[in-house]
Structure 1
Amino acid sequence: MSMELMIKAMKTKVGNPLRKLVLVKLADNASDQGECWPSYQHIADQCEIDRSTVRKHIKQLEAQGLLRIENREGPKGNSTNLYFLTLGGVGQDSTPVGPESTDVGPQPTGGVGPESTRTSHSSEPVNEPKPLCKPDPMEGFDQFWKLYPKKKSLKDAKKAWAKLAPNPELRQTLITALGKQRLQHDWIKNGGQYVPLASGWLNGEKWTDEVGPVAGANTGKPSAYNNLPKHTPDMYQEAPDGQPNF
């Protein structure tokens, strides 16, 4: 890409917005000498217009003296276009050079047709689409924190969550595992004294641990969960006062 040509192309008035777009695309592909050889299809794809529209505006740009076209035939009978941008003197006296200089020749009689020009895309830059925005690494943390029984070291918990940056599938796995583990006897006894910090739970991938005995289930020990109703479908939902339902 020639920055000088890009600037000149942006400042050049051509009388049509699509023609201006084609000119800018040619400048984007051009060397500092104003030489480029993108195919009609490549320009059409990049500018999001039809091939026929590209051909029409390239011919108009040539008629306006903003570029010149050289057609050459390749060894297999296919032909390609070389474009030389002549914006502000750049490219007017350039000599055709480059990887395609031995692969092109004069265009067959009949002018520029739908399939009359072809070129290898191997020399064309590939511009990968960029995402409009990055996923939020903290997405789902609020739900996790509301469910986690030990509300300590919030800053460390957020840091561990951001580092993990779980996708939707992993977030569901975390919530499901946490919902089971928080009912374990070891997490309930002594007022939750042995519940690990949320940061340690995340960093240590504790969601993969096997679930121990559920509090009050065949343990023979009293538990705060013994008085829970037999059916608790909304156990993991937030209560009106903002505290977990347990």
Structure 2
Amino acid sequence: MNRKKRPVIGIIGNYSLFNDRYPIHSSGTMNAAAVAEVSGAMPLIIPSDPAFVSVEELLETCDGFLLTGGRPNVHPSEYGEEETPAHGAFDRARDAITLPLIRACVDRGQPFLGICRGFQELNVAMGGTLHPEIREIPGRMNHRMPPDGQLHEQFALRHVVQLTEGGIFHRLFGATSVMTNTLHGQGIMRPGNRIVIEGQAEDGTPEAIHVRDAKGFTLAVQWHPEWNAADDPVSRPLFQAFGEAARAWAQGAPLRLIA
């Protein structure tokens, strides 16, 4: 590989209807900006539907994957539960791509970074379960995005995340307590196999996880670090480390983060 060539990060796209009629797969510009400007990689938006791409093709095409947030939730049948109105909208095509993709990346040591839904996908892919509505649990706060306001208000830092001392995230951020935004309704109920929870909000909601004894970079956060990634003191080192892992993979030397 030409060492001057940027590694390729596959950004998981979300299905939606443009102008309520035209079907598209898309991703927020802030995801591409974080990948290009902070990770130093080439962003490539993926149509997350097995009708268009296969997991095998993605693994060979991309050096790493950004598992983005999105309005649809992982279907509860993926973790052994019945669908209810509380579980919200779904995207079964994305489920069919991301869940086996995550497991394959864990097995291969190929890097990925999970964000919000991507955080939840990692837990489900490893056998865990989700609670459909965190704010309904006694003692929990409302983690959902504020319904009104400008983007900078909706993505504003809103709560503290406490990190495990000496863990991967502590070493990455240089702190055991960080401020993050919060824009999610669901959250981890039961952690999946080998899922290590290293960050929690003040109300006990899991916020930062990785896979125990993974061969490569398997980090995921429940918040949205892609917002203001170049300037935020938490987002920047996260995306920089992700970029380093993608470059290492592209050069044939998977980067393992030891807890």
Q: As a proportion of its length, which structure holds more helix? A: 1
Tell which structure's C-alpha radius of gyration is larger.
1
Q: Return the structure number with greater relative CO, CA threshold 8 A, min gap 6.
A: 2
Q: As a proportion of its length, which structure holds more strand? A: 2
Q: TM-score range by the shorter chain?
A: under 0.3
The TM-score with structure 2 as length reference comes to 0.22
